[in-house]
A and B are shown apart, each in its own frame.
Chain A
Amino acid sequence: MTMEITNMHMLIPGLPLLAFLINGLFGARWIKQEAHWIAALAVAVSWVLSVMTLLKVMQGHTYYGDIYTWISSGGLRVSVGFSIDELTAVMLIVVTTVSTLVHLYSVGYMHGEEGYSRFYAYLSLFTFSMLMLIMSNNFLQLYFGWEAVGLCSYLLIGFYHQKESAARAGMKAFIVNRFGDFGFALGLFLIYLTFGSLDYQTVFSAIDGWQSPAISLLGLETDLATVIALLLFCGAVGKSAQVPLHVWLPDAMEGPTPVSALIHAATMVTAGVFLLARCNAIFNLSPAAMAVVAVTGALTSLFAATIALVQNDIKRVIAYSTISQLGYMVLACGVGAYSAGVFHLYTHAFFKALLFLGAGSVIHAVHDQDIRNMGGLFKHMKITAITFWIASLSISGLPPLAGFFSKDEILWLAYSSGGSFGKMLWATGTLVAFLTAFYSFRVIFRTFHGEFRGEVEKKDHLHESPASMTIPLMLLCAGAVGAGWIGLPALWGFENHFAEFLKPVVGHVAAEHGNYSHSEEWMIMAISVAAGLLGLGLAWAMYARKTDLPERAAGAMSGVPYRLFFNKYYVDEIYDYLIIRPTVWVAKNILVTVTDGLIIEGIVNGIPRSIGRISQWIRKAQSGVLHHYAAVIVFGFFIMIAASLIWAGGN
């Protein structure tokens, strides 16, 4: 049953917006170190309201309504409005939960920093934007949220803007995302031109039974649905840091760690997956686009996992791990398992936010991000270490932790999605599961176990973080353990509540997978657990038991693969040489000097100059000698008479 939105729903994004305005306007001068009260209170109330909304949605109520007409021009009419259905409700919980915890955590982590109120203003603005994104009832408002979270990401990555690397990273994030948004915007244009509206209701109801016309694009015969789907996917590729637009996310780690947890792990980067799930009706029309989505997801997950193997910056490892896990989610959407993708998004939010916040806690203690300078922290910071362990077990997909259920569901649905294509996707996913466990525990063993390898004077100052930081860790840890239990697999004799809940929005994929036996499903599950354990074991063998093994392994692999992984496949360098430098070179050496300077300015300045030159030449006739003039007059006179006689004679 669909109902009108109420003021309560407007408050969900409204409160963070209000907090942003208060902190933004008065923070720097008056509120200062008290800014967290306003921001955290606002987002906490939003969380309560979100939970209330979720409960209502679970009773079968959905909400849809416009607040006001935003743009009206010709046939285009776009509103600002909300649509709250099952998918939105799940996202609301993810966003407000993680956001609240990160607000809380930051009280300790950011304590005493310059720009404290600015930080909270940005966080509130981000929460507002993200909520507008997920609650939107039309594509343009989605686009607004999409860009607005990008802006917050830009501002927060560049929070320490005195650092050149941070300023550059923020800019890079924004511009790389713009490449994706370019496709996204074109997708919106095509949707509007095809369906005459940008409202979800109108578009998605028109899609039912719509026959996608064949069109030709750059000489390729294809159909409109594929084009639209792929253009929308461009946006998702940018925001969710999929290959080839993944380059911004690792650099985004320049931002404060709570930001990495909130924006670059749990919420904003999953917006791409949300988009895929939201637009499932469009993607379902085009098997070709789905295949592209699935392959992109699989490639990204493998690609990022291999890079994560060799990175030494703790946040970068987690960042590549995030890209890899996002690849999983996209892969799930690509095989039509949207609910599995969203399920993984949901569980991932907990354990990945936990990993980042744990890493933040470590950085807070060590004041370093390089895992080569850590080690043996377990005895100094037990809460951080234990929660970090649990998060890593969860991401490695070990039962009965949250990550196991979602990852297993994705792997199984990929395997059973049909043919050798599905099997290849599954094989990639399983390999990535092994790699994930390996690099996750590599970090654990290097950080928390063994001997402390940092500077000696630091060793005495190692300490557990304050309660405002450890409490969010413990709360998230509960999520990392138990979040998956709402989606227990049907194989175990449960109803998959999560998938059932999302069914009205994203459909159900299991029905098409009837051809596979239960034993196969058990086998897949066992293999994925085995892969996780194997990775854990290898990491233990290499980094905990015998500590010179990694150097030997690196030495053995030293050649091409290690350098390739370590330098992130040189993607940044490739872009630099292929896109950035040529643009600047063309601007400097062709546009400024040749076309503007030589051609246009040449003509512009050339005309007056040639006029001047001609008159230089003509002025010689003005000799100043009176007799010359007289002679010219006389001869001119004769010529005129002669001419007039000839002319008269001619007639």
Chain B
Amino acid sequence: MIPVTWYMMLSAAIFCIGIFGFIARRNVIIMFISIELMLNAVNINLVAMSHYLQDMRGQILVFFIIAVAAAEAAIGLAIIISLFRNRATVHVDEIKEMEG
């Protein structure tokens, strides 16, 4: 039996990779994938804990997250595509429309 801490360490590692990717990369698609990584890190954590605590609610929550993430990915990609069509770039430093 693999101890639960291993799962948590895996989860934390993936999460950190996600954060790193999100901060360090400038390509929107990479950043987007980084967000997905973070979400999946959370999922791993939830599933591991659910198993450990013998509580099904964690796994149910994971299904929700996957469903939401799918929707989010669809909308996010759509936004990125229309952004690319308009600006011909996916480099975030060049996109600062929201400056206050």
Cβ–Cβ contact B23 & A622, under 8 A:
no
A619 with B100: in contact, given A630-B22, A631-B23 (CB under 8 Å)? Answer: yes
- Does any Cβ of A come within 8 Å of B78's Cβ? no
Q: Which of A614-651 contact B (CB under 8 A)?
A: 619-627, 630-631, 634
Measured between beta carbons, the chain B residues less than 8 angstroms from A627 are 23, 26, 92-93
Interface centre among B22, B26, B95 (most CB of A within 10 A): B22
Taken together as a complex, chains A and B put the C-alpha atoms of A620 and B99 apart, in Å, by: 8
Tell me if B100 and A625 are in contact (CB < 8 A): no
Which partner residue on chain B sits nearest A623 by CB separation?
A: B99
Q: Which of A623, A630, A634 contacts B96 (CB 8 A)?
A: A623
Smallest beta-carbon distance B74→chain A, Å = 20
- B1 interfacial contact with A, CB 8 Å: no
Q: Does B31 contact A (CB under 8 A)?
A: yes
- On chain A, the residues within 8 Å of B95 by CB distance are 624, 626
Q: Which residues of A contact B19 (CB under 8 A)?
A: 634
CB distance from B72 to the nearest CB of A (A): 16
Which bracket fits the contact residues of B?
10 to 19
SS class, residues of chain A in contact with chain B: helix
Q: Which of A202-224 contact B (CB under 8 A)?
A: none
**Known: A626-B31, A626-B92, A627-B92. Is A634-B23 also a contact (CB below 8 A)?**
yes
Interface residues of B in 43-100 (CB under 8 A from A): 92-93, 95-100
Whether A625 contacts B92 in the complex (CB less than 8 A), given A619-B100, A620-B100, comes out as yes
CA of A626 to CA of B94, assembled, Å = 10
A630-B22 Cα distance, complex, nearest whole Å? 7
Pick from A621, A622, A624, A634 the residue with the most CB of B within 10 Å: A624
Residue of A nearest to B31 (CB): A626
Q: How far is the CA of A631 from the CA of B19 in the complex (A)?
A: 9
B22 → A minimal CB distance (Å): 5
A contact residues around B93 at 8 Å (CB): 625, 627
Q: A627 CA to B97 CA in the complex, in Å?
A: 14
B99:A622 contact, CB within 8 angstroms: yes
**What's the Cα separation between A625 and B95 when bound, in Å?**
7
CB of A632, distance to nearest CB on chain B (Å): 11
Assess whether B100 is in contact with A622, with CB atoms less than 8 Å apart.
yes
Partner-A contacts on B (CB < 8 A):
19, 22-23, 26, 31, 92-93, 95-100
Known A-B contacts: A622-B98, A627-B93. Give 15 more (CB < 8 A).
A619-B100, A620-B100, A622-B100, A623-B96, A624-B99, A624-B100, A625-B92, A625-B93, A625-B96, A626-B92, A626-B95, A627-B23, A631-B23, A634-B19, A634-B23
